[in-house]
Amino acid sequence: MNANDPLKRAWSHQKIVKFREAGYDRFPVVRVRDDATGDVLATWGGFRPEALASWTAINQLG
């Protein structure tokens, strides 16, 4: 498949629509999950080193 393939373009468009409907506007999309339950504890879009550092510190406490 190449970028001009109609199926690939339709698939890509669907992914972009879902991405935006989920409230994201940039990559990467990060989801922090509880190891024991799998529950999503936090989610965000975009590179946020301060959020990663915060969750790393929380993880080291537990």
* pTM assigned to the model: 0.70
Strands 29-33 and 40-45: antiparallel
The separation between CA 23 and the C-alpha centre of its own chain, rounded to angstroms, equals: 10
Closest alpha carbon to 51 in 37, 30, 35: 30
Q: What's the pLDDT tens digit per position in 5-62?
A: 899 989 999 999 999 999 999 999 999 999 999 999 999 999 999 999 999 999 898 7
What Rg value do the Cα atoms of the chain yield, rounded? Answer: 16
Q: How far apart are CA 25 and CA 10, in angstroms?
A: 19
Confidence of residue 1 (pLDDT cuts 50, 70, 90): low
Q: How far apart are CA 29 and CA 33, in angstroms?
A: 13
Enumerate the domain spans of the chain. 22-61
